[in-house]
Every structure is written in C-alpha cells, then in structure tokens.
Structure 1
Amino acid sequence: MKNKYTFWIAALALVSASACKSGGEKKPAAMPPTLVNVATVEKADALYYDQYQGLVVALNAVELRAQVGGFITGIFFKEGNVVQKGAPLYEIDKRKYAAAYEQAVANVTSAKANLNKAKKDIERYNMLLKNDAVARQTVDQATATYQTAQSQVAVAEAARTSAATDLSYATIRAPFTGRIGISQVKLGAQITPGTTLLNTISSGNPIGVDVVINEQDIDRFYKLQKSSTDTTFRLQINGGNNYNHTGKIFAIDRGVNNGTGTVKVRVQFPNPNDELKDGMSCVLRVLNDDSGNRVQIPYAAITEQMGEFFVFIAKDTVAEQRKVTLGPRINSNIVIMKGIEQGEKLITAGFQRLRDGGKISLGQQGAAAPKDAKGTAK
C-alpha cells in the first residue's frame, strides 16, 4: 500500500512540474490602455484675496465728560444722530458760573479804577516833586501803589478768564462732527467733574477696520501702504456681503506684540451711507501678491502623495506624472505656480489608476482654464 501512494505522488509532481514549465514560457497579456479625459491647460487673469478677521473702529471717538460739576438742565440732541462740530449737547446749571463771571468782571473794573487813580496820583506827585512841593518818600509810596494796582488788574483779569472758562464749560459742545450715542445721564442728574460719563461721540466717515497680522507679513503691508491700488483692500460684511467701497492703509502699529508676535493694521474705508458701524465684525480681503495671469486647473485633477502634489499630462498615448507647486484655491479651481505650462494636455478624469509612463487612450477633450477667475484665496 505504501508503494502505491508513493507512485501517485511522484506522478502528480511530474505533471505539476510540466505545467509550471509550460506556463513560464508564456508572456503575460498586455494591459489595455486606460481611457482618460484631457483638457488643454490655459492661463487666465485672476484676482484672489487673503482673508483677515477685522473689526470696524471709528477713526475718532471721544467720551464726553463734564469739566465742571452741577445738575443737568438741558439736553439738546437726538440720540443716535449726527451732530455738527460745536453744536451744544448738554447744559449744566450755569447760574453759579454766570454769577462768578459777573463778579470777576466787576473786580476787573474796580482794579482798573484803582490803577487809574494810582496813575494820576503818581503823575501829580512827580510834578510837585519838581517844585520841591512834596517829599520824596510820598512819591515813592505813590509809585508802589501804582505798581500794586497794576498787579491787581492782572489778577482780576486772570480770575475773569477763569470764570469765563467755567461758564463756557457749563455748556458741553460737540468736539467734532460725528454720531452721538445714547445718553448716559438724564435731565436733573448731578454730575461730578471728570468722572461722570455723559455720552460717546464718534466719527463715521471715513471709518477704519482693524486687523491683526503676523510679523512675517509686516514688510508686505508696508509695501501695500505705499503702492496699494483700488483692488487691494476689500471688505465683506453681514455674513459675506461685499462692501462697495475699497480701502487703503491708515496706519500700521508702532511695534510687534511680544506675546503673540502680531501687529495691528488699520485700513481706512469711506462710509458715506453709514453702512459700517463702530464695533462691527467683518472680513478684510487683501489682494494676493500672486494675482495675475496664471495657469489655473480644476482642483479635482490634483493627486497628493506624501505631502507632494502631482498631475498627469498626456503625451500622445502615454501619461506623464508631473510634480506641481500649488497656489491659492479659487472656487473649484487652483492656481499652479510651477510644474505645467499653457498648452499642455492635462488629464482631468481617469487618472486614478494611472502610473507614470502608463498607456492611455483619449476620451473627452476640453479646456482646463476656468471661466470664473475671481475668488478668495484659501
């Protein structure tokens, strides 16, 4: 029985060896070419923007506080309206200050009368002194009295000026043309000089937008401050609505924040229709330096391998894998900074199974240049 099994095993081994030998002599069947779609690479003018979170700020804003104390006896504006420079806003009970001013005026009049009398006395004594009709000491006393009267006039005039200033402070006026807020005090309220907040007034046109940039971008913004165009700074408000006016850099902060490595930049925008309000959130869009006539292709044609990006270019019936340098995204397209040139045939579909040098057959053909060349850099 053992010999019988040995015979069958030997026979099977011989048959297997023959089959392997026969199979080894056959050539593998050639893979059919991969069907792909291609598009001609073209350039297009593109404007694309970098985005920065911004905050609308008034270029001029002042908290109104009284410089004299008393009770509020008048409010002369409508809250939330634009007030003109110099317009009266609040009045503090001015009776005390008016009386002090009148007294100061009277003191000036009295001091000037004393000065006039002293002047006449010294003139008379000097004439008598020439005729030896009066003692020298009397003349000296008259001279001292005259000088004292001069000093008293100066003191009285200073007091009058101070009283006039206090009286003027009793009426609080708009320091500039701007929009005034909701009053923090009501009629009859007692206020403390320099402490009680009455209201806030801020300018509205033009207005600023503050953004924070990394210190690596400082040189870029300094260049934009000198050479920005009408398309450099744009604004999105109210959840993505485009603001109709363009801006320009108003100021770049004096230094870098040591804790965050950032710098504040303020961009100025016209605001004729008062659409931008102090404290509003917005998105500042800054024209990307790489905007211009650039190659753009569908982002779907990009493949990624270990952090590097590739496309496939059709070379007759062969696919060539090409490494590319990506620029910003524009909607469903992407800018190619380096790697492919205008006029080449880009494989846009069917490349998922391709390898460099793989055989292809061409299907649908078109253009890879985008129709919409405007967007926001991502």
Structure 2
Amino acid sequence: MKMKTNIYITSLVAFASITLLSCGGGKKDDAKAAAANAAQPVKTVAIQQSAAVYFDEYPATIVAQKEVILTPQASGTITGIYFKDGQVVQQGQKLYSIDVPVSNANYDNAVANYEVQRANLVKAEKDAARYHQLDKQDAIAKQQVDYADAALTAARRQVQAAQASINSSKANVNFGLVVAPFTGTIGISKVRVGAAVVAGQTQLNTVSTDNPMAADINISQSDVFKFEKMKTKALSEQLFTLVFGTDPYPESGKIDIIDRAVDPATGTVKARIIFNNKDKMLRSGMTAVIKVKNDHPEPKFIIPNKALVEQLGEFYVYVVTDSSTATQKHVVPGRQLGDRIIINEGLSPGMKIVVEGQQKLKEGAKVKL
C-alpha cells in the first residue's frame, strides 16, 4: 500500500512540473510577440524638393596662354644679355647677342662684292654710252655696240645678285640677335655671357604671358555638352573656382576653349579655363583643383545618406504612412553631396522618411515618432 501511495505522489509532482514549465514557456512567447508588435521609436523628416547645387572637382595644371622657349638660330658665343631675370620684356626687345664669326665674314664679303659689282656697272654704263655715241657717227661696228649693251645688262644683274647676297648675309648676322617674340615675362637665363650655343638646340630662356593665366583640365566625353553650354555663362555666375589645398583663388574663371577632339589614349577632352592674374599669384606649372558649379534647373529631392537602406544592390527608404506604419519605398539615388544624397526617382513631396531607427524595421512595422 505504501508503494502505490509513493507512485501516485511522484506522478502528481511530475505532472505539476510539466504544467508549470508549459505555463512559463507560453508567457515568454507572449512577451516576444508583444515586443515584436510594439511600435518602434524612429525619427523622420518630411521631404520637399529643393535646388541641387554641388561642385564637380577636376585636377588642373596652370599654364600660360602664350609660352615660347628661346633657342638661337645660329651657333656661336653669347656676347651680351640685355634683360634682368624675371622682368617684363616688350615684343621685339633685344634679349641676347651671339657672335657668329662665319656669318659676319660672309656679310663682309657680300658687301665687298657689291661694291665691286657697282663699279663694274658704272664702267659698263660709260662704255655703253660711249659706244652709242660713236654708233651715231658710224665710227664703230654695230657688233661692238651690241656687246656693250649686253655687258651693261649683265652688270646690272650682277649688282642685283650682290644686293641679294648682302640681304641674305645680313639675315644670317641677325640670327645672332635674339629678341622677344611677344610682350611677357622672361625667366631665369640658362646661359651666361661667353657660353657657346648651338643653333636650334641650346635653350636660352623662356618667355610667357602672365595675365590672364589658364588652367587645363581633362573632362569626360559626356561632360563636353555641359561645358559647351557653360561657355555662354557670365563670369559673375562664378561657375569655376580654383582651389590650392584649402585656399580658394580669389578670381573666378571662364571657359576659354574646349579642345577639338577626344584623346584616344584617355578618352577625355582638354578644356582650358582662364583666370585673371593681375596680382601675379599664378605661375605656369602650378597644380590645383578646379571646382565646377552644377546648378540643376529642376528641383530635386535631397535626403540624408543615413536614410538609405541597401538590399542586394537596390536602395530603399522607409516611409511612414498615416497609420503610423513603415513601408519600404524603392528609390534611385543620384549624386552624393557630403552627408546628403540626391534621389532621382521614387519619392513624392510631403513623404515622411525614417532617418533613425530603420535598422529594426520591417515592412508594415508599427512606428512611434
């Protein structure tokens, strides 16, 4: 009898334990379900369209609009330098003189030959005049008169040839003089007086203009149409800003020219932007960044980056409905503007999008603002 009683008591205890466990598990499931259905706290913003103004950046190289490397046209020795390094020189101003011994000797020979030919011409003129006078008196053979006329014609041609030789030799002598091809700033001379130079090879110096200065950038083929339209924009619109590090250049730029063809090696087109350089702050060869202002005529939706949710390469935002539920909205993002981004498609004015707390949301979830 005692054994039956013990079995009965043990069974009751086991049943009670199972019942308690079942009741405890149900409460936990109910708690989880309640937590899942609870409204999630989020922060939202009501979106509206606004002007999308941003800047594209292009690496730029500063160049002079005109720049010429000076080389001698004749070989010889530098005999004079007629400028100070770095000064502004005027077009046609004498810069270097070169002693060209051969050219000088040829010029002297040409002058001497000219004098000889002039003397021969004078003699031929006198002979022809005398023979014609004798011919009138029938005192000389006609053949002698013809010879005299032929000699006079030849003498005149010899004088012309001698004059041409002088001009040619003088030009060669002038090759020993280097002048400024245009008004601009000359650099530091690469040669000194007494240095030997070779025609067409030795670099003497560089002359370049310095106001205005240009900045060359490479643009993609797809940007050519946009830049062509910018040609008509006024300088006051400040579309082009030159930046050195964090320091902007005080003058705005304007498109000067867009190259005629695409570079097949890079697939880009060179564009040249000009800047006023009255204070001589820009130097040829400097590197900088040009910021190009983009001002879309049509308003755009611009939202915080953190509102975007990416799923398998697609982008969404959570929109809060009138019933305080969150629904996913597929969007097409555009250009990023710092911590914001342009949305090209998918949104409508007045929508409330979630900007904080969307990590815990799913489609149809209740939200609490």
Distance change >3 Å, CA 242–CA 193, structure 1 → 2: same
Displacement of 1:298: 2.1
Match of 2:358 among 341, 347, 351: 351
User: Within the alignment, does 1:165 sit opposite 2:176 as a pair?
Assistant: no
Distance change >3 Å, CA 96–CA 8, structure 1 → 2: same
- 1:224-235 mapped onto 2 (5 Å cutoff): 224-225=230-231, 227-230=232-235, 231=237, 233-235=239-241
- Residue identity opposite 1:360 in structure 2: V
Displacement of 1:239: 1.1
- Distance (whole Å) between structure 1 residues aligned to residue 234 and residue 309 of structure 2: 36
Tell me how large the CA RMSD over aligned residues is.
Answer: 3.5
Kept after mapping to 2: 8 A contact 1:118/1:142: yes
- Residue identity opposite 2:220 in structure 1: N
For residues 143-170 of structure 1, give each alpha carbon's deviation from its aligned partner in whole angstroms, at most 9, with x where no partner exists. Answer: 2212211221121111221232233332
Which residue of the partner structure matches residue 333 of structure 2? 326
- Distance (whole Å) between structure 2 residues aligned to residue 342 and residue 119 of structure 1: 104
Displacement of 1:322: 2.0
Displacement of 1:99: 6.5
TM-score normalised by length of structure 2: 0.82
For residues 232-256 of structure 1, give each alpha carbon's deviation from its aligned partner in whole angstroms, at most 9, with x where no partner exists. Answer: 7524333132222233333334433
- Distance (whole Å) between structure 1 residues aligned to residue 120 and residue 254 of structure 2: 64
User: Within the alignment, does 1:58 sit opposite 2:72 as a pair?
Assistant: no
Which residue of the partner structure matches residue 298 of structure 1? 304
Identify the range of structure 1 (241-250 vs 139-148) with the bigger mean alpha-carbon deviation. 241-250
- 1:179-198 mapped onto 2 (5 Å cutoff): 179-198=185-204
- Residue identity opposite 1:179 in structure 2: T
TM-score normalised by length of structure 1: 0.80
> How many pairs align?
357
Kept after mapping to 2: 8 A contact 1:235/1:282: no
- Residue identity opposite 1:322 in structure 2: K
- 1:1-378 mapped onto 2 (5 Å cutoff): 19=22, 28-29=33-34, 31-93=37-99, 101=107, 104-225=110-231, 227-230=232-235, 231=237, 233-288=239-294, 290=296, 293-316=299-322, 317-362=324-369
- Distance (whole Å) between structure 2 residues aligned to residue 43 and residue 353 of structure 1: 28
- Any stretches of 5+ residues in structure 1 without a counterpart? 363-378
Which is greater in Rg? Answer: 2
For residues 138-196 of structure 1, give each alpha carbon's deviation from its aligned partner in whole angstroms, at most 9, with x where no partner exists. Answer: 12211221221122112111122123223333221111122222211111112222222
- Distance (whole Å) between structure 1 residues aligned to residue 22 and residue 53 of structure 2: 67
Distance change >3 Å, CA 98–CA 308, structure 1 → 2: same
Percent identity between matched residues is: 39
- Distance (whole Å) between structure 1 residues aligned to residue 47 and residue 183 of structure 2: 56
Distance change >3 Å, CA 40–CA 93, structure 1 → 2: same
Where do 4+ consecutive residues of structure 1 move more than 6 Å? 24-27
- Distance (whole Å) between structure 2 residues aligned to residue 26 and residue 212 of structure 1: 65
- Distance (whole Å) between structure 1 residues aligned to residue 129 and residue 330 of structure 2: 106
Aligned to 1:205, the other structure's residue is in SS state coil
Which residue of the partner structure matches residue 371 of structure 1? none
Displacement of 1:19: 4.9
